[in-house]
Amino acid sequence: MDKPTVVFTNGCFDILHVGHIQLLRKARELGDMLVVGLNSDESIKLIKGKDRPIVSEAERYIMLKNLETVDSVMLFDEPDPLRLIKMINPDVLVKGGDWGEDEIIGADHVMENGGSVVTVPLIDGASSTNIINKIEHRYKRFLFNLLAIMHRDGGHYVDEHGVDKAVKDAMKVYYDLRARRGD
């Protein structure tokens, strides 16, 4: 029996999206076993800042582990997966197309050991950052509408109708604006 072809990829997978799914599916097609290195919460904070991750490492781990394309998930605390790559010594190392082959951490190690490095094309616009920015933008628009209603008539609107009514009215204005814009 031949040794199974081990494929490795890694990432934060903070807010799982269609681009992640495509990467994992294509990575799995390249071998017999897909191992995913998952940045821990602390690792993500080092890379992306104190407000990240949005989704905890425990939840991200469970989501990845339950995808049929993924055979194994390994958390790592370092800013990069080099230690894991050297430990696993995969036959194929896969990253998204936003990485140049000379930028892929562990590529040298994999190729020196007879393996290959593959980049998977990105899906245009599919990114956790884009999702976060879209949510943030819509939330800010909602808050702007809420503040406008709460300050209507010098604040008397809230005094007379209460905050709950102001929030409901702001939500109505927000969704009416979205409908008009086609969001």
Residue 35 near residue 90, CB atoms below 8 Å: yes
134 flagged as catalytic: no
- The single residue of 50, 86, 95, 165 carrying the catalytic annotation is 50
Distance CA 110, CA 126 (A): 28
Which of these, 70, 72, 54, lies nearest to 20 by C-alpha position? Answer: 70
- The single residue of 48, 95, 140, 168 carrying the catalytic annotation is 48
Which of these, 61, 63, 65, 69, lies nearest to 22 by C-alpha position? Answer: 69
Alpha helices in 30-92 (DSSP H): 41-48, 57-65, 82-88
172 flagged as catalytic: no
Write the burial class of residue 14 (CB in 10 Å: 0-12 exposed, 13-18 middle, 19+ buried). buried
Q: Which residues are the active-site residues?
A: 48, 50
